[in-house]
Chain A
Amino acid sequence: MLHHLEKAIEATNPPLTRRGFLAVTGGAGVGLIVGFSFPRGAKAATGDDQFNPFVMIDSDGIVTVLSKHLDKGQGTATGLATLVAEELDASVEQMRVEHAPAHPEVYKNLLFGVQGTGGSTAIANSFEQYRKAGAAAKAMLVAAAADSWGVPAGEITVANGTITHGSGKSATFGDFAEAASGLEPPAEPTLKTPDQWVYIGKDFPRLDIPNKTMGAPRTYGLDIDVENRLVAVIARPPKFGAVLKSVDATEAKAVRGVVDVRETPVGVAVFAESTWPAIKARDLLVMEWDDSNAETRGSDAILAEFKALAETPGAVAHAADYEAGLAEAETIVEMDYSFPFLAHAPMEPLDITILFDGETATLWTGSQIQTIDQGATAAVLEITPDKVTINTQWAGGSFGRRATTNADYAVEAALLAKIWGEARPIKVVWTREDDIKGGYYRPMYVHKARAGVKDGKITGWHHRIVGQSIFTGTAFESLIVQDGIDHTSVEGIADTTYSIPNMQVELHSPPVGVPPLWWRSVGHTHTAYVMETMMDALAKAAGVDPVEFRLAHLGNDPRKAGVLKLAAEKAGWTEPVGAGRHRGVAVHKSFNSYVAEIAEISMNDGVVKVEKVVAAVDCGIPVNPDNIAGQVEGGLGFGLGAVMRNEITFTDGEVDQANFDTYEPLRIDDMPDVEVHIVPSTEPPTGIGEPGTPPIGPAVANAIGQATGQTPTELPWSKGGLV
């Protein structure tokens, strides 16, 4: 095990980060990595003393935390460093954080069993692990100080990065780093009690921000230029599933800087000395494609098919006697919805550099599921996964796109490296057009919902969802898809915590030849919209205030009721809204966190403008409140842009959109003022990267419903002229 890590480290190119690649060679296993033994006291490749796989301290006292999770903007790396700093009693100034190497055992996500980031699990699964890593390192420093000063360890205190003893002795972490790292780590380090916390629950500044305001080199994958690298861009099939018939590359090859053009199983690859010649030459390729196995339908045809399916019984995700329930109702509400395909469009288009020397491979990329990227790359190159080193880079966003169950873009890079044959680094660059047209979309969905109310209470509910399964056909199918139900297609409805009697949920999962993928908040992107606009429609039918109506159905979910009440109070829900303004509310649980959002809008000539959003969130112990607020602000902005005007459509199987003109992101003038309130909690921390996204669409839709009497149900709203 150790051997291949060392090999992997040797195979790494000259330092690509300030401190170089970090080795897992020193310290000792702590906490949850029981059974994994390291030689103690060894030095990391950087010369730092490694206390355990998560913490290194150098002779200047700089503490470097190794983040097993990809930070793609969610503040995860700083969150993990905060946990270490807390138990280590380090100062903010001495803390640094870098991405850990790929190692499926040492750095696995404790909820996934493999190394990977997603599902808003980073802090939830690491909360104890990283605190224990910090506590163990502190105990070792204290023991080394006690030994050197000849005093009992119990008399030594550590605060803000300084080790002191009542006798007047004082030292920095650097003074004892080397001695301490050779000591036996405590088997079960004692953790602080919450009342002793100095950082958790406070606004620990993000450690990545200074670099991100300076344009610092070698930050993102696209910034990596390994010496002698070639840049490759790929002309992928214009229709999903098409294969290359012929290519004429004469003109492309004539572009200065182009080294070669090769046919590959994923398309035609242009290899060049730099990026621009590759992009320019690709436009000059003349290609013919064989569409016999391609998806050639237009999105309108797919939508019509879905709508027809919604009229027929589907696989039952949640069974109940809904007919009886609906028969009891005084009023029935029925709504049909459609949701388009959506691209993630992270600000940094995908990129990856690979170097394959025939025996080992090295990747530089914002890898989100390192274990899958390792395994899939290894499979293509016919080596074992431990021969694949990953240098995880800070990622310029992901929103789900960097995490595919087939490691799509790592596999492409591996195929290109194999085809190239020589051991030369190859950097595969995606343009924005490649990204928008590249598939792996949030799938299209259609919902048909019918529910009844009587005396302010829901009596029955019949719900049909039609949409592609994200997990069917992937390695995770058996975990997520049961009895034909992909849980992510129905999550947020079939498992709603509203007390709804007689609720039946059915699902159709028709195959579509477009690769689907999770998109920030997965199924909740559409289910929350339907659930929460239905709740408003039902409240209206019942003649009850929408907040009161929801609370009347939240007897079994006090935390959801809690955020709803807090948002309502902070937004002044019971007070009249200003002239020309309208309010709408939504509340949703996702990734074990609860978010309520109250949107205030104005309408001008039928065009909606979101003026303000008041949000309340309960994500358990708030490790970093300011970062939580940032994630809710950004998460709702991300969701708002999509419901307003984003859709991927197809004409005869070809994607109609290409860049930010036809897939226009939220702009600064679209962004509402946002206020985020956090519920104090002693529950374990839960997700925050995604839960801010689901409630925004329905909150604004409900405000539009208030303003116009018409709740938009066809997305995006640009279709109905609302934006």
Chain B
Amino acid sequence: MVQLTVNGQTHDIDVDADTPLLWALRDELGMTGTKFGCGLALCGACTVHIDGVAMRSCQTTVEDAEGTEITTIEAIEGKAADAVRAAWQEIQVPQCGYCQSGQIMSATALLVENAKPTDEDIDTAMYGNACRCATYHRIRKAIHRAADLMEA
């Protein structure tokens, strides 16, 4: 039995300690906004915030996640997250959309840390978030736009 704090709520989950947080969120808690893309920290689709830091939930076991504050796409909010979502809609970023939960989680973490990222900052922060639909051009635009929205 492990205890997870997700989006401010505590859950007791009966899974093996080596279960990736990703599958605990999806299968045990029914929070399917966090996506499975590779299982090996190679695509970023499963990105969540753990104590405010963007982490790959496919490579974080429930054991390691115990005692932390986990935030998922379903509940992420605040100035940066709101700006990111607004920019994502304004710039019409998603295509298939499957990677976008992860993109939004990574972009939000970036903007919380760095309110005015350069293209290079964006490349570094977003490198691990793959998008097979190649919406990168708009992701970049939308992050800059979100930074402007935060300033306004």
Taking beta carbons and an 8 Å cutoff, which residues of A are in contact with B? 72-75, 203, 205-206, 208-220, 222-223, 225, 231, 256-257, 274-277, 279-280, 345-349, 394-397, 399, 431-432, 626-627, 630-631, 633-638, 640-641, 659-661, 665-674
Contact = CB atoms under 8 A, between A and B. Distances in A.
B101 A215 contact: yes
B38 A432 contact: yes
A638 B133 contact: yes
Interface of B: 15-16, 18-20, 23, 26-28, 30-40, 42-43, 45, 72-74, 85, 88-89, 92-101, 104, 122-123, 126-127, 129-140
B32 to A, nearest CB: 4
Contact of A225 (B30, B39, B93, B133): B30
A205 B92 contact: yes
Contacts of B134: 633-638, 640-641, 666, 671
A659 B97 contact: no
A28 B139 CA distance: 43
B88 A209 contact: yes
A82 to B, nearest CB: 13
Contacts of B39: 279, 431-432, 659
A672 B123 CA distance: 12
Contacts of B104: 213
Nearest to B141: A673
Nearest to A433: B39
Given A637-B137, A638-B134, A660 B43 contact: yes
B121 to A, nearest CB: 11
A213 B146 CA distance: 14
Given A347-B45, A630-B138, A638-B132, A222 B92 contact: no
B96 A346 contact: yes
Given A215-B101, A432-B39, A209 B33 contact: no
B43 A668 contact: no
Contacts of B126: 668
A276 B35 contact: no
B42 A72 contact: no
Given A397-B95, A399-B132, A660-B40, 8 more contacts: A213-B104, A214-B73, A215-B33, A219-B32, A256-B16, A279-B39, A633-B134, A665-B130
B129 to A, nearest CB: 7
A209 B97 contact: yes
Contacts of B140: 668, 671
Contacts of A215: 31-34, 72-74, 101
B88 A666 contact: no
Contacts of A665: 43, 130-132
B96 A276 contact: no
B27 A276 contact: yes
Nearest to A212: B97
B40 A397 contact: no
A517 to B, nearest CB: 16
Nearest to B88: A213
A671 B42 CA distance: 18
Contact of A206 (B92, B131, B139): B92
Contacts of A75: 95
Contact of B138 (A214, A633, A660, A661): A633
Contact of A671 (B32, B36, B73, B137): B137
A640 B133 CA distance: 12
A217 to B, nearest CB: 6
Contact of A214 (B34, B74, B93): B74
